[in-house]
Amino acid sequence: MKIAVTGASGYMGKYVVKELLNHGHEVIAVDLHYKEVDSRAKLSDVSIFSGDKDIYRQLEEPDLCIHLAWQDGFIHNSPRHMENLSDHFIFLEHLMQKGCRKIAIMGTMHEVGFWEGKIDENTPCNPLSQYGIAKNALRQSVLMTAKDLDVNIYWLRAFYIVGDDSRNCSVFTKLLAAAEDGKKEFPFNSGLNQYDFIDVKDLARQIAAAGVQDKYTGVINVCSGKPVSLKEKVESFIKEKGLNITLKYGAFPDRPYDSGIVYGDNTIISEIMKQYVP
C-alpha cells in the first residue's frame, strides 16, 4: 500500500514508519523535520495545515493516511490543542472528500476523562484536559463526517506509552534525568495506581496492523489490556536500566483526580494482531 504518515519523525511516528516499511509498504513521511526518519521513506514537504482542498493529490493519493501529528501532546493543557483543532479537521475532511478511503487517527484515553476500570470502544467520554477535549471533538467530527462518505476511519485510542523514554515527558524520563544528575532518591507518590502500559514499538505494530486491515473500524484501543501498578512498573524500570536511585514513596500525595485503576479493552486489537504477520 501507499501510506502517508503525518508526524513521521515524532515520538511514535518514527517507529510506525519503520514498521510499515518493514512490511513492504511505500511510506510518504510528512513532518516539519525528518530527524531519525527511516531513509527508505519518501519525504514530503506538504503542509497539512495549508487548508488546500487538493491535499490528497499533494500527498500522492495514498491508500491510507495515518495521522499522528499533534503539537504539545505531552502538555495536556496547552492552548495549542484547541487552536489547532479546526486545522486537523479541515485536513482530514479534505482527504475524505477527495478520495482517501482509509484514515487512521491517533486518539487517547484522555478523551474519556476520569474512569475506574476497563475502557472499551463504547465508554462514555468526559475529558478533563484541553488535550482530551480537542481529541474527543476531532473524533466526533470525523466519525460524523465519514458516515456520508465511503471512508474507513480507525480511531486508535492509546493509553500509557513507555519506551524511548528520553523523548517523552513521563516519570521514566524524569527518573533518567535524576539518575544522570547523580541523585540517590526520587520523590514519588504511593505508586499504587494501576495503568495500561505499552512499549512504543509494540504500539507502532498495533497502529500499523489496525490501519492496513478492513474488518474493524471506528474506535480501536491500542493497548496491552493489562493493568500494572505504577510502583511495579517503575521499580522494574530502575532495575532494567541499572539506575542507582531509590524511590521515596509518599513524598507526593496521590492526586485525587487520578483513577485507582484504568486500562483498555484489547479485544479488537488482539483479533487484528492474530492476522498480522510479524
> How far apart are the C-alpha atoms of 92 and 140, rounded to whole Å?
13
Q: Are 39 and 5 in contact (CB under 8 A)?
A: no
Task: State the maximum Cα–Cα separation within the chain, in Å, rounded to a whole number.
Answer: 58
Nine-digit cell string for 272: 487484528
Q: Tell me, yes or no, if 276 is annotated catalytic.
A: no
Nearest residue to 184 via CA among 127, 244, 143 = 244
Q: Are 65 and 6 in contact (CB under 8 A)?
A: yes
> How far apart are the C-alpha atoms of 139 and 133, rounded to whole Å?
10
Rounded to 5 degrees, φ, ψ at 216 are -115, 130
Q: Which of 131, 160, 195, 263 is catalytic?
A: 131
> How far apart are the C-alpha atoms of 61 and 95, rounded to whole Å?
9
Could you give the residue numbers annotated as active site?
A: 131
